[in-house]
């Protein structure tokens, strides 16, 4: 039996709905994965995350390897048992984190040598070690170690990234030791169309269970990102899940859904929530601003989340001004529910053949 099973149910042009079966449950796609970097979605309990409609959560192997350590989590029953999230999970290998901590890291063909951002300890991660760590963590879907580059980037460095990411994918595949975990490959190539094609086709030849588009939303701007994402998704197998990493705003997510992406993750909803910014179909609103001091309405009319059913904008603003953690919890909860509703709406629109109209409505609110 394969670690995961994926099937496409309905299509609307290149967009599709589907079902992803994992050892810890099934997920309807397209789906948005809340980010639980340290094994927790910030400010929210697993039960609260589940109430937003989330079916799968992401954690980060780089951070968990450093603290508390993969062995500790394995000895406590694995990531799901340890964290209290009993549903499907995906772990990122940490390639993007090592890119974002470039001043602490040195990349070579053998792997990445870096200093811990926690205590400065010198560490080394090879593709084999990245997979060993994720095998210990036990998520349903695990990611290869990739060589992520930013924007702008010289062509020679993008070429190096593509070559290295492919070589690391082979090494990750060879080092993968659990048949109940699906290992995804990650397409790199920056904004160079021919390099994206080379990367995608090379990884497809490895016949991996799923594929991700990496190395986007790193400074290239919305228009160029969409161009890269559309061209790359077109190269990936129709019968396997396609994951767009680290994206993003609602309009960007729906653009990628229209291009055929199935899975998304981003810190945008929870990070904005902790800073008092709430997503609505009228656009972003800053709940802690003074115009809401006597506003007796919910964050968003028609939203069925706990925050909107029980609390007013006035009260939530007060929580932020008073430094009460509940304010961060409520807006984070609402934002994740907004993304849950966004995905529910996208699936329904695809089934009804009206994704373009739905996409236009959301795009109007977020400048898409």
Q: Which helix (DSSP H) or strand (DSSP E) does residue 332 occupy?
A: helix 325-352
Catalytic residue annotation: 92, 265
Counts of helices then strands in the chain (DSSP H, E): 15, 16
* Inter-residue contact 256 to 263 (CB < 8 Å): no
Rounded Cα distance between 170 and 127, Å, is 9
Nearest to 312, CA basis, from 289, 294, 286: 294
For 265, residues 6+ apart whose C-beta sits below 8 A from its C-beta are 32, 33, 34, 35, 58, 90, 245, 246
**Tokens 């697993």 identify what position?**
46
**Tokens 């809340």 identify what position?**
34
231-235 LR contacts (CB < 8 Å, sep 24+): 231/193, 231/196, 231/197, 232/187, 232/189, 232/196, 232/200, 233/14, 233/259, 233/260, 233/261, 234/14, 234/259, 234/260, 235/187, 235/196, 235/197, 235/200, 235/201, 235/204
Integer angstrom CA distances of residue 186 from 31, 94, 214, 221: 18, 12, 6, 20
Nearest to 330, CA basis, from 267, 273, 268, 266: 273
Q: CA-based Rg of the chain, rounded to a whole angstrom?
A: 20
Strand, coil or helix: 22 = strand
* Inter-residue contact 270 to 244 (CB < 8 Å): no
């Amino acid at each position: 039996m394969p670690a995961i099973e994926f099937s496409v149910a309905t299509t609307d042009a290149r967009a599709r709905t589907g079902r992803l079966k994992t050892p810890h449950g099934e997920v309807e796609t397209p789906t948005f994965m809340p980010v639980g970097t340290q094994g927790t979605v910030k400010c929210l309990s697993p039960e609260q995350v589940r109430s937003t409609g989330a079916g799968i959560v992401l954690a980060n192997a780089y951070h968990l390897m450093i603290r508390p350590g993969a062995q500790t989590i394995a000895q406590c029953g694995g990531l799901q048992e340890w964290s209290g999230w009993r549903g499907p999970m995906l772990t990122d290998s940490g390639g993007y984190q090592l890119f974002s901590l470039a001043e602490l890291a040195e990349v070579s063909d053998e792997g990445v040598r870096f200093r811990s951002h926690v205590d400065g300890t010198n560490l080394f991660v090879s593709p084999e070690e990245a997979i060993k760590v994720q095998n210990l963590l036990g998520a349903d879907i695990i990611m290869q170690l990739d060589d992520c580059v930013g924007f702008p980037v010289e062509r020679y460095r993008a070429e190096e990234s593509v070559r290295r990411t492919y070589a690391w994918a082979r090494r990750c595949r060879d080092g993968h030791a659990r048949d109940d975990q699906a290992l995804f490959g990650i397409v790199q190539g920056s904004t160079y169309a021919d390099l994206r094609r080379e990367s995608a086709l090379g990884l497809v030849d490895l016949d991996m269970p799923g594929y991700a588009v990496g190395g986007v939303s790193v400074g290239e701007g919305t228009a160029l990102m969409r161009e890269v994402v559309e061209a790359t998704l077109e190269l990936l197998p129709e019968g396997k899940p396609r994951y767009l990493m680290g994206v993003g705003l609602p309009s960007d997510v729906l653009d990628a859904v229209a291009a055929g992406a199935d899975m998304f993750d981003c810190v945008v909803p929870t990070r904005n929530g902790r800073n008092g910014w709430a997503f609505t179909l009228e656009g972003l609103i800053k709940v802690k601003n003074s115009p809401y001091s006597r506003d007796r309405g919910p964050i968003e009319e028609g939203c069925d989340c706990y925050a909107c059913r029980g609390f007013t904008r006035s009260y939530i603003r007060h929580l932020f001004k008073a430094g009460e953690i509940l304010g961060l919890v409520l807006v984070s909860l609402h934002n994740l529910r907004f993304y849950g509703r966004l995905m529910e709406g996208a699936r329904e629109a695809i089934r009804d053949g009206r994704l373009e109209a739905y996409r236009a409505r959301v795009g109007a609110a977020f400048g898409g």
